[in-house]
Chain A
Amino acid sequence: MSQEPPQPAEDLELIQAVLQGDRERFGELVERYQGRLVNHLFRMLRSVEEARDLAQEVFFKVYQALDRYDPRYRFSTWLFRVAQNAAIDRIRKRRLQTVSMDRQPDPEGGSRSWEFSADGPDPYRELRSHELSLAIQRAIEGLPWEYRELIVLRHYGELSYGEIAELKEMPLGTVKNKLFRARQMMKEKLGDFLAE
């Protein structure tokens, strides 16, 4: 694992400010990572609502453990590690409730993972977005677990290669190779949409 501190200086500054009693500065960290975290969790959990709830919980956990944060590593890496663990716990709990993660999303039940806005300008477009989202979800879930994680971390968590390597504790070259293979599989699975 990398021992360099290549994280943006602002993350560390914010953390230090929070630890010195400026609680509100934590909101800046939330703002900075909320979109990436919710999208990452959404693709892990298949449900927007659940992703938002869990993202909130992850921020709570991180806040409560902020004094144990090790600045030798990037904050983003730590945050996403907490999120990965929380998502895996959530998936395990679901499995205990006899819902298999390996099951393809049910087109009927799929609506719970996507929200239509009542005042949307174009219902057809929203339907198309819904179909696309489901197709992406199916393609991601059709990948082997390690590839699935990398695609989600890169495209929805928007982590850099360096951050993914640090998070997954794998060499940078391995990250590149696995992402390459994962994308080849994704292209095959999403061929119809890519041709449009």
Chain B
Amino acid sequence: MNQEHDTYRLWLGAELDGELGPAERRALDGHLAGCEACRGERRALAALGRLLAAGRVAVEADFRERVMADLPPAAWEARTRRSWLAAAVLVAILAGGAALLLGTAAEPGLGVLGPLPVLLDLLASSALAGAGLLAASWRGLGMALQEALQASPWSFVVLGVLVVAVDLLLVLLLRRAAARASRSR
């Protein structure tokens, strides 16, 4: 068999697999019209394809249901649900704790709203410090720490924990955004 026939026989395989391009198809059809040997090869390949297909086995009707019923929990399932919940709960607890602590130092006469402006200031400082940490803005962090230190040791502790919590939340958000971007690519 010469090289030209070898090419056509490769194409016969591609034809069997449904992978023959239109140009190849035209050339192959032209060749087959005048080549009995290649027509015989085409018949043999088609018979082989049918034979191999006849050797396939059926999958049980309830295969999918069984897989889904026994599907084990994946680590990523727990991670995605719990990480958000844990971060949110942590921030809420810390915010509540901060409100309680700062309420004792609030100006008298402001009632239950007394600690609110202080708390908002503190949260804003924490967020700035958190963002500053991520952007390596040590100057901003230093200023925030100085202010906190001057206020009271409790403020310093609360600020420190809030900075860590906000940073954790930001890191989670960034990781989630990066994973989503990677998946959608």
Q: Is the CB of A71 within 8 A of B71?
A: no
User: Nearest CB to that of B18 among chain A residues?
Assistant: A160
Contacting residues, chain B, for A60 (C-beta < 8 A)? 67, 70-72
A19 touching B67, Cβ below 8 Å? no
In B46-93, which residues have CB < 8 Å from any A CB?
Answer: 47-49, 51-60, 63-64, 66-68, 70-72, 74-77, 79-81
A177: which B residues are within 8 A, CB to CB?
10
* A132-B50 Cα distance, complex, nearest whole Å: 12
Is the CB of A7 closer than 8 A to any CB of chain B? no
Q: Are B81 and A21 in contact (CB under 8 A)?
A: yes
Task: Tell me how many residue pairs across A and B have CB atoms closer than 8 Å.
Answer: 120
Please tell me if the beta carbons of B185 and A26 are within 8 angstroms of each other in the complex. Answer: no
Interface residue stretch chosen among A31-39, A78-86, A87-95, A97-105: A31-39
Any chain A CB within 8 A of the CB of B112? no
Are B72 and A64 neighbours in the complex by a CB distance under 8 Å?
yes
Any chain A CB within 8 A of the CB of B3? no
Cβ of A193 and Cβ of B67 under 8 Å apart? no
Contact check, A19 vs B183: say whether CB atoms are below 8 A apart: yes
- Residues of B within 8 A of A (CB-CB), count: 41
B64-A30 in contact (CB<8A): yes
B182 near A71 (CB under 8 angstroms)?
yes
Interface hits, B117-175 → A, CB 8 Å: none
Q: Could you tell me if B67 and A183 are in contact, using CB atoms closer than 8 angstroms?
A: no
Which chain A residues border B56 with CB–CB below 8 Å? 35, 39, 156
A154 CA to B14 CA, complexed, in Å: 11
B29 at interface by CB-CB < 8 Å: no
Nearest B residue (CB) for A31: B64
In the bound complex, residues from chain B placing their C-beta under 8 Å from that of A63 are 71-72, 74
The verdict on B4 contacting chain A, using a C-beta distance below 8 Å, is no
Name 27 A/B residue pairs within 8 A (Cβ), A-sorted.
A19-B183, A27-B67, A30-B64, A30-B67, A34-B59, A34-B63, A34-B67, A35-B58, A35-B59, A39-B56, A56-B67, A60-B71, A64-B74, A67-B76, A67-B179, A136-B55, A161-B14, A177-B10, A179-B13, A179-B17, A180-B9, A180-B10, A183-B48, A187-B48, A190-B51, A193-B51, A194-B47
Query: Chain A: residues with CB nearer than 8 A to chain B?
Result: 5, 12, 15-16, 19, 21, 23-24, 26-27, 30-31, 34-35, 38-39, 42-43, 48, 51-52, 55-56, 59-60, 63-67, 69-72, 129, 132-133, 136-137, 151, 154-156, 160-161, 176-177, 179-180, 183, 186-187, 190, 193-194
